[in-house]
């Protein structure tokens, strides 16, 4: 049985924080492969500062030496506002009936999940893994969630020790290695002419340098 992971985001640019979370996600769930999906027009975030082609190229460079991580451009090809429900529906239709689909989401997005398009239907298509980054309190998340989200989430939470982690409809809280790296900070450093070395793969930073990405115009 194949267990397929999904990890979407702007990746503007992709960095070691993304890659470390992806690696720990793949290990924890025993993923056959993990699709990294750059999104074109996320409904909950501002438009990316670089082109779809550039972000896709940087993701491809970042994962070139890891066969378990795959670049997936389906949302960029869609060329419109991208909803997770559409991506999960499309991928579920592509997989064998006994395959398992597990979707990774950050803790900050998880707390706002009830604002997402057709959010309750997401649980019918995939398991949900919540990447718990620095500052996310595993014991106090309910204080930050809406009553509607809490009602949906509480019966679904399971631990990684269960026999079928990531089954559709389940939610697994996934503690991750604290790496306080952000794309926003990297963009700011590059715009200021500062080094972002060791925050992102060298191939990604070299590409950004060659393309003059994130630089403040003179």
- CATH assignment at residue 149: 3.40.50.620
The total number of structural domains that make up the chain = 1
Q: Is residue 154 very low, low, confident or very high in pLDDT (cuts 50, 70, 90)?
A: confident
The answer as to whether 105 is a domain residue is yes
Q: What is the 3-state secondary structure (H, E, C) of 5-17?
A: EEEEECCCCCCHH
The answer as to whether 193 is a domain residue is no
The answer as to whether 191 is a domain residue is no
Note the pLDDT tens digit of each residue in 125-149.
Answer: 999 999 986 666 656 677 778 888 8
For the chain, percent of residues with pLDDT exceeding 90: 66
The answer as to whether 204 is a domain residue is no
Q: Is residue 186 very low, low, confident or very high in pLDDT (cuts 50, 70, 90)?
A: very high
Nearest C-alpha neighbor of 216 from the set 49, 54, 2: 49
The answer as to whether 216 is a domain residue is no
For the chain, percent of residues with pLDDT exceeding 70: 90
The answer as to whether 130 is a domain residue is yes
What ranges in the chain are assigned the alpha helix state H? 16-29, 52-62, 74-78, 84-94, 107-110, 147-153, 183-191, 202-210
pLDDT averaged over every residue in the chain: 90
The answer as to whether 206 is a domain residue is no
Question: How many residues belong to the chain?
Answer: 218
Instruction: Please give the Cα distance from 15 to 59 (Å, whole number).
Output: 9
Residue 111 predicted with pLDDT over 60: yes
The answer as to whether 190 is a domain residue is no
Q: Is residue 29 very low, low, confident or very high in pLDDT (cuts 50, 70, 90)?
A: very high
Q: Which domain holds residue 94?
A: 3-179
Kindly list the strands in the beta sheet with 127-132, ordered across the sheet, starting from the edge strand earlier in the chain: 69-71, 33-38, 3-9, 100-106, 127-132, 171-175, 157-158
- pTM for the predicted model, two decimal places: 0.90
């Amino acid at each position: 049985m194949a267990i397929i992971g999904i990890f979407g985001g702007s990746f503007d640019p992709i960095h070691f924080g993304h890659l470390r979370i992806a690696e720990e996600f793949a290990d924890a769930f025993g993923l056959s492969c993990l699709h990294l999906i750059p999104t074109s027009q996320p409904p909950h975030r501002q438009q990316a500062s670089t082109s779809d082609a550039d972000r896709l190229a940087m993701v491809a460079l970042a994962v070139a030496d890891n066969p378990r991580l795959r670049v997936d451009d389906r949302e960029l090809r869609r060329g419109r506002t991208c909803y997770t429900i559409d991506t999960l529906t499309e991928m579920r239709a592509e997989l064998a009936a006994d395959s398992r689909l597990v979707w990774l989401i950050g803790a900050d997005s998880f707390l706002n999940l009830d604002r997402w398009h057709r959010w309750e239907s997401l649980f019918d298509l995939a398991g949900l893994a919540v990447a718990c980054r620095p500052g996310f309190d595993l014991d106090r998340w309910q204080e930050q969630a809406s009553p509607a989200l809490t009602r949906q989430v509480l019966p679904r939470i399971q631990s990684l020790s269960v026999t079928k982690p990531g089954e559709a409809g389940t939610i697994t809280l996934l503690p991750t290695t604290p790496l306080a790296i952000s794309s926003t900070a990297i963009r700011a450093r590059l715009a200021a002419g500062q080094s972002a070395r060791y925050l992102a793969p060298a191939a990604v930073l070299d590409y950004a340098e060659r393309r003059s990405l994130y630089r403040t115009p003179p």
